[in-house]
Structure 1
Amino acid sequence: MPFSEMAAYDLLVVTPMHPTMEWLDLHGYLKFKYPTRSRAISFINLHLYSAAEAAGKMKWFYRMALSEGKVLYSRETVVRNPCNYEKFYFAALDRYELFSGQAGGFLTAAGRSLVAGDFRQTAFLTACAAEMLLHALYGVYYAADTDLHTLTTLLLRMRTISPELYLLLDPEQTSNSRMLSRLDVYRRDALFLFRCDPCRAEIGGYVERTQKMKELIERLCKARLALYNERR
């Protein structure tokens, strides 16, 4: 997918046993072993799962990869079966409705807190809304749940899905969105630490950008769900 001057690969790796490295560790290792400046494709979005995970919680994503992906290497013969897009559609739809509904509730509450002048609560609720929105996007594209909760990692995990979303949340293209980094801190500290005192201008801007994020993610999810629905 073009992203400014960036192209990307999505690579699925399935191992017999549970991988010894987590996704973020492996992502950093690849950047160390194969620096971006030394390769034509600057971003590799890795999906690393055990065979049990591929057959379990990630089964629909795995079946879509088997149906539409290109096999680069396999120790055993790969059986390429068509993906059941009807079941994929409903698995993705369930996650979209759950997480987008929660995000809407958090954003509404954040707006009320902002008007009331409770900026700490606004920051916490905005962070929760951002997390639910990213989980909705993940759920629609992979028809599965993720155990990732750090906002910056979630965005990096889905970097190849939407250049528009990435530019909205990380306009400097640093791979570490300032907005999401700050919201990660507020979600951790806002309810408990007295020194956590976000200013109105900062948190008001985050609420506004999270609303734009909601509109964009809803559009992306609905377009993707429509694609699954067409293939049923």
Structure 2
Amino acid sequence: MIAPWAHNSDGVVLGRYGLVEDTFIWANDDSLKVYGDNLVVRRYVVWQAQNGAVFQFGWSPRRYVQNVRISDVDVIHTDWCTFKKSKCHLSTNNAVLDLGGREVTSFKVNDIVISNIRIESSCPRLVYFKMDPASTGSVTNMHFNNWFVESQTAHEILHNEIQGAFNASLSDWTFTNLKIAGECISSPCQADFRLGHHTENINFRCDEIQSLSLVLSFNPVVWVVIMTLTVRPI
């Protein structure tokens, strides 16, 4: 899909058991709305224009979703600040992982795994997931594995933010092998994450074995070298 000219040109929204694969999206609104249970997305290329999120969880009164698997996504552009330069101001729906607006006030989100995400060039904001104070429910068991970000520009007013509500907790989020400019992130402050109230067990960890496994699985040249080194003469 190529439709970046209007600010309501969304990408994909699917119901339960939806499948998206081998797809290119150039959108000027949310590229993928994560709204359906048992959603599978793989081999997905995104050019995110000046508006919208790559993975959107917001924009409706209720968000009940579980058992989602998203993998092998290449984000080749995030243009939120491209034409604003140093005066960049982002709306609440501009992030790779996002909870847009404040319409969602009832949550039941569980078992979301988003893996092998590659983000090219500079990305102003990875995560903006802030609940409305009146929200209820929970968002739990969120796993983000092997995210590789070429660079993240520092801004005084732009930060990665995660925040729950008094009656709606955000808990058990794990970022494993989140790498920015080649550096693996092991604490929130390393990547300018602000963890607000009513969050619990938000972890950042570096798992070099898993990272090596990913490199091997995606780089056939490495396998050729390994095979060459292990060949023994008869």
Confirm or deny a common fold (TM above 0.5).
no
Higher helix fraction (1 or 2)? 1
TM range (shorter): under 0.3
Q: Taking structure 1 as the reference length, what is the TM-score of the superposition?
A: 0.24
Higher strand fraction (1 or 2)? 2
Q: Taking structure 2 as the reference length, what is the TM-score of the superposition?
A: 0.23
